[in-house]
Structure 1
């Protein structure tokens, strides 16, 4: 079954571990805001005891998300073949997206404020069919730029043959 999601005839490139760090910061902010809001809501309406229990539940959720974020980051990988790009990710629900270079319409590179502070970017490939769009998060900006230029050039060269 693993051959279905990770063909052995390609050399896979993992994404940066900084992706996990950026996602953990996002998770910490969300959990912190949720804990404070719950603490205030429970404390003002019911009891501070319920507020304290709510904070413990949110802390347990944060600890669980911490480990899942690391596992998810390690599952992201991509490979460049002669005629197509392969992107694989997922732990429980694994996904392999194969995008033929000739079917690409355009390539986006995006980096939000948190991604920029961690020195990572996301490359997104768009095709005519949204189901075959692919996204590769957690790339070093130089690698994202190189990949964008290479995929654009290959897409343009392959599209001429259609």
Structure 2
């Protein structure tokens, strides 16, 4: 397979249940931001109310597009690397070579754990790479971690 040929690839998506932790996070953030703008209401000016309304509308739009954004998170295990795709309007592809993987960490926060999900975080030889696959079912995350650790060890042994 050509390394740049990603259009016909077989992608694996994250769990649809991952929408809930994302929605909860955006809603809580939106409520806090809207509450902070309410402090300006003491000025009793039209712009203070407009600011709060704009914050509420902005966070409502983000929350409305969250399910589509979660559906866009996909990953693929290729011959030499793991390819991660994120984004709807601004699509980001990240390729993590197996031989560069140093640590594969499984994170399970309280909301994600309650839904039976996990986040896989990859630590690589590059200091600035913060690659995470969120919303992977817990059993799949353990199996995927074990498989990737095996691939990483075999690739590093060949270096």
1:7-49 C-alpha deviation (Å, 9 max, x unpaired):
41x311011122222111111111112222222x123x31286
| Distance in 2 between residues matched to 1:118 and 1:55, nearest whole Å | 32
Cα offsets for 1:57-77 (capped at 9, x unmatched): 222112210133222211110
Q: For 2:104 and 2:31, locate their aligned partners in 1 and report how far apart those are by CA, in whole Å.
A: 35
Tell me how far 1:141 sits from its aligned partner: 0.9
Distance in 1 of aligned mates of 2:30 and 2:36: 10
TM superposition shift of 1:120: 1.8
- The Cα offsets for residues 86-143 of structure 1, whole Å up to 9 and x where unpaired, read as 1111122222112221221111111222222332211112211245552111111111
RMSD: 2.3
Q: Supply the distance in 2 between the matched residues of 1:54 and 1:100 (Cα, whole angstroms).
A: 46
Structure 2 portions without partners, runs of 5+: none
Seen in structure 2, the aligned counterparts of structure 1 residues 130 and 7 have a Cα distance that, compared at 3 Å, is farther
Secondary structure (helix, strand or coil) at the match of 2:22 reads helix
Structure 1: runs of 5 or more not aligned: none
Tell me: CA distance 1:134–1:104, structure 2 relative to 1, closer, same or farther (3 Å). Answer: same
Secondary structure at 1:55 match in 2: helix
SS in 2 for 1:99: strand
- The alignment covers a number of residue pairs equal to 157
Aligned match for 2:132, one of 135, 156, 162: 135
1:19 has 2:18 as partner: yes
TM-score using structure 1 length: 0.84
Please give the secondary structure, in 2, of the residue aligned with 1:116. Answer: helix
Q: For structure 1, which segment, 149-158 or 93-102, has the greater mean C-alpha deviation from structure 2 after superposition?
A: 93-102
Residue in structure 2 matched with residue 106 of structure 1 by the alignment = 103
Contact 1:6 1:88 survives alignment (8 Å): no
The alpha-carbon deviation at position 56 of structure 1 amounts to 2.1
